[in-house]
């Protein structure tokens, strides 16, 4: 079955037993979002997380002047989530919005907790994803302080080339902390 094939890429048979996969995979619900639709809106408690099968989404916050600033991008195989809202059960300050039509697999908080408590390999994979997310956030924060915009762009190009190809210059620019005009200039410099 094609639907199971994607989730088995996430929950590898090399890491999970057949019995564990039979307990995990049926708990996910396939959900589609249309372009510009919200997976999560500011002020809501995150009750789901989604593995993106196809398409792109971004998370963003509104700054003090009302501008939306991109905080992350999600593509195939990524988990689209506000981790702190999900685990601490507090209202999110972020929005997660589909940039394209998206197919994803949704798991609710209560089911996540049941699987997390009862399946050690699920718990271990969850910890690894959470720690990886923390380190990525920490590195991004340090990069804003210590790196030039061009370096941040080159790192994004290296780590997530699919995002660069599929996301608007405006969203890329706010993620990098620069204007879209500066981003255009950086792209021209790199191309020549």
pTM of the predicted model as reported, rounded to 2 decimal places = 0.86
Tens of pLDDT, residue by residue over 118-160, are: 999 998 988 888 888 888 888 888 888 888 999 999 998 888 8
- 50-76 pLDDT, tens digit each: 999 999 999 999 999 999 999 999 999
Q: Are residues 139 and 183 in the same domain?
A: no
Sheet containing 29-33: order of strands: 29-33, 102-108, 48-54, 79-80
31 vs 39, 59, 101, CA distance in Å? 10, 18, 11
- Same domain for 77 and 55: yes
Tell me the β-bridge partners of 54: 103
Whether 91 and 177 share a structural domain: no
Domain that holds residue 167: 147-192
Residues 176 and 142 both lie in one domain: no
Alpha-carbon Rg of the chain, whole angstroms?
18
Are residues 117 and 154 both part of a single domain?
no
Residue 83 and residue 157 in one domain: no
Instruction: Among 131, 146, 161, give the residue marking a domain's end.
Output: 146
Number of domains in the chain: 2
Phi and psi dihedrals of 79, rounded to 5? -95, 120
Which residues does 88 contact at the CB level (< 8 Å), separation at least 6? none
Query: In which residue are the tokens 């809202």 written?
Result: 85
User: Which pLDDT score, from 0 to 100, does residue 31 have?
Assistant: 96
Distance CA 147, CA 11 (A): 35
Mean pLDDT of 159-180: 90
């Amino acid at each position: 079955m094609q639907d199971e094939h994607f989730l088995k890429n996430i929950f590898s048979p090399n890491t999970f037993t057949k019995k564990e996969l039979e307990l995990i995979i049926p708990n996910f619900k396939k959900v589609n979002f249309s372009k510009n639709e919200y997976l999560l809106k500011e002020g809501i408690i995150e009750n789901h997380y989604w593995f993106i099968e196809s398409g792109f989404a971004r998370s963003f916050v509104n700054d003090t002047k009302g501008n939306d600033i991109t905080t992350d991008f999600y593509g195939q195989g990524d988990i689209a989530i506000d981790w702190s809202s999900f685990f601490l059960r507090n209202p999110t300050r972020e929005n997660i919005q589909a940039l394209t039509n998206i197919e994803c697999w949704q798991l609710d908080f209560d089911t996540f907790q049941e699987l997390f408590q009862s399946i050690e390999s699920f718990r271990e994979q969850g910890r690894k994803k959470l720690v990886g997310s923390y380190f990525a956030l920490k590195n991004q924060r340090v990069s804003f302080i210590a790196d030039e915009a061009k370096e941040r762009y080159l790192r994004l190009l290296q780590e997530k080339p699919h995002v660069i190809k599929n996301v608007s210059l405006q969203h890329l620019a706010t993620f990098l902390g620069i204007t879209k005009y500066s981003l255009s200039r950086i792209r021209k410099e790199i191309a020549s």
